[in-house]
């Protein structure tokens, strides 16, 4: 997301984690993880039984999504534009947790990162349906201006993040 990369480039922050393809000129970019965008539906929703669904098939449904300024919202708007379709956004919220609570309350369905959806599915009556679209698999990267120039604590954090990604499930590990 550009809002993550820009402060790193401008020297306002030391480390950023960006998903998808963003402009990272003049930054060191380290593969971090892979994450998949999934459809989250209320428990018992008809789509919950599908092995996978194309995003376009969800566009007749009311959606719960993050606020307009979020990178995910902007990304989904771009996808809709390419499909010449409109995203029926019933409500916009501030976090993945609130989105899952609204989905659980049958306000609509939502497209969220699988890692967040799985975390909230442990305690909420929501179900996860994989999206069949190629773009649903996103590469995540750690971005820094210079590893050598980072303060020691920030360098240690990047090292910890990269080591953690090596211990992640195979589906979440970065592509070598």
Q: What is the pLDDT of residues 101-153, one digit of tens each?
A: 999 999 999 999 999 999 999 999 999 999 999 999 988 889 999 999 999 99
Proportion of the chain in helix, strand, coil states, percent, rounded to 5:
40, 30, 35
Assigned domain for 174 exists: no
**Is 28 found in the same domain as 8?**
yes
Q: Tell me, what CATH number does 131's domain have? A: 3.40.190.10
- pTM score: 0.81
pLDDT digits (tens, 9 = 90+) for 87-105: 999 999 999 999 999 999 9
Angle between helices 96-104 and 114-121 (to 10 degrees): 60
Cα Dmax for the chain: 52
Range of the domain at 156: 2-33+139-167
Same domain assignment for residues 88 and 147: no
User: Is 172 among the domain residues?
Assistant: no
**Residue spans of alpha helices (H) in the chain:** 2-9, 71-83, 96-104, 114-121, 152-166
User: Left if phi > 0, otherwise alpha if psi is -120 to 50, otherwise beta: which for 107?
Assistant: alpha
pLDDT digits (tens, 9 = 90+) for 13-48: 999 998 877 777 789 999 888 889 999 999 999 999
> Position of tokens 């497209």?
111
């Amino acid at each position: 997301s550009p809002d993550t990369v820009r402060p790193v480039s401008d020297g306002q922050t030391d480390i950023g984690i960006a998903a998808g393809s963003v402009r990272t000129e003049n930054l060191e970019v380290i593969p971090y993880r892979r994450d998949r965008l999934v459809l989250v539906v209320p428990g018992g929703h008809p789509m919950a039984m599908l092995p996978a669904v194309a995003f376009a098939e969800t566009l007749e449904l009311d959606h719960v999504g993050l606020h307009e300024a979020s990178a995910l919202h902007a990304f989904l708007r771009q996808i809709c534009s390419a499909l010449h379709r409109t995203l029926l956004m019933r409500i916009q919220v501030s976090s993945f947790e609130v989105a899952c609570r609204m989905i659980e309350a049958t306000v609509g369905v939502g497209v969220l990162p699988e890692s967040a959806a799985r975390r909230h599915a442990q305690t909420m009556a929501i179900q996860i349906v994989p999206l069949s679209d190629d773009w649903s698999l996103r590469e995540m990267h750690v971005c820094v201006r210079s590893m050598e120039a980072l303060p020691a604590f920030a360098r240690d954090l990047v090292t910890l993040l990269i080591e953690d990604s090596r211990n992640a499930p195979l589906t979440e590990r970065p592509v070598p």
